[in-house]
Amino acid sequence: MELTIVVGVRRVDLADADCGIAQSLGVLTDWWTFLLVRDIAGGVTRFDGLQRGLGMSRRALAERLAALVEHGVLRRQPYTDRPPRYDYLLTAKGEGLLPVLIALQEWGDRHVLGDGSLTATAAAGSAEARRVHALVGRRLPELTLPRHDGVPVSPAATDAWTVLYCFPGAFVPGVQGLPPYWEDIPGAPGCTLESRTYAARAAEFVAAGARIHGVSTQRPDQLTAFAAYAELPFPLLSDADGRLAAALLLPTFRAAGTDRLKRATLLLDPSATVRAVQFPVTDPAGSVGEMLRLVRDHVPVAERADARPGPDASA
């Protein structure tokens, strides 16, 4: 059996029908398709928004969306009947592409835009830094991440401002060993110090009107152990499936066979809109005081009483 890939109006036959890569390319036919999945994962789900963002012709966009729906990568959800209009959303099959997007992003950042070196940080003028700072003014798409106790929650509090600090990985000494050569990766060490500094100043953040959420790509059970060890008064969220990283195109690096978030911090308002960012973070402890100043600068005085621990606080 031969695989046929549609490229524009041409057909390219691939004889290697037992190759998963070849079969995948029969669905993900060209670079536009990858960019469509990228933007839909990031919360751009309507035809006009996709067309405007990508600059595709309406015909080409309609053809690719229809093909992705046919292959079960996307599903259509109506948002108006007259005229009929749809949101295009990732299915479970489509969400299986999130690690692919993250891998492509990391490869491009490291080997195309970078010098090929393994690092958990970036230069202030890098493409990664520009991408993170461009998040200001952007609203997070609707998604949930498992809290360290397994309960799914939104990364942003709905009734208060949120400091969302992303970290590569925090481990309990003697229980969870550090990944090999962790100390040699620029920017990787410092997660315990950063988390404990946030914990020590948590009351100040609450008084200033913000809750604290930490997030890494570690499993919930690993985060549970670390939260107990570090006595954190706030929740840690697991992005092990890459939902947040893919949605926001957050910088990542790969160490010990795992995709890990580079250290970055977002300040989100109650509508889950990014109002300030920190990246690169070169001083894990010092960045906490800097973020507290940003919170005090951004959160209106009238909203500061709303940051008392709520239902999404650490269990």
Q: What's the pLDDT tens digit per position in 185-223?
A: 999 999 999 999 999 999 999 999 999 999 999 999 999
Taking only the tens place, the pLDDT of each residue in 101-137 is: 999 999 999 999 999 999 999 999 999 999 999 999 9
DSSP, collapsed to helix, strand or coil, labels residue 99 as helix
- Number of C-beta neighbours around residue 124 at 10 A: 11
For the question of whether the overall pTM of this predicted structure is more than 0.85, the answer is: yes
Q: Among 129-133, 255-259, 305-309, which stretch is predicted with the lowest mean pLDDT? A: 305-309
Q: Can you tell me the distance from the alpha carbon of 65 to that of 178, in angstroms, rounded to the nearest whole number?
A: 43
For residue 315, what pLDDT is reported? 42
Tell me what pLDDT residue 309 has: 58
- Which residues have CB under 8 Å from 71's CB, separation 6+? 27, 93
Taking the CB of residue 65, how many other CB atoms lie within 10 A of it? 20
Alpha-carbon span 265 to 190, nearest angstrom:
14
CA atoms within 13 A on the CB side of 196: 11
Q: Tell me the average pLDDT across 262-283.
A: 98
Task: Name the pLDDT band for 314 (thresholds 50, 70, 90).
Answer: very low
Give the CATH architecture of domain 117-307: 3-Layer(aba) Sandwich (3.40)
Q: Could you tell me the fold of the domain covering 3-95?
A: Arc Repressor Mutant, subunit A (1.10.10)
**Neighbouring C-alpha atoms within 13 Å toward the C-beta of 310:** 19
How crowded is the C-beta side of 103, counted as CA atoms within 13 Å?
9
Decide: residue 247, CB within 10 A, 0-12 exposed, 13-18 middle, 19+ buried. Answer: buried
What pLDDT is attached to residue 7?
Answer: 47
| pLDDT tens by residue, 138-192 | 999 999 999 998 899 999 999 999 999 999 999 999 888 889 999 999 999 999 9
Closest to 185 (Cα-Cα) out of 252, 102, 234, 232: 252
3-class secondary structure, 69? helix
Q: How far apart are CA 257 and CA 99, in angstroms?
A: 12
Could you tell me the residue ranges of all domains in the chain?
Answer: 3-95, 117-307
Relative orientation angle of helices 191-200 and 220-230, to the nearest 10 degrees: 60
Give the integer Cα–Cα distance in Å for 291 and 279.
11
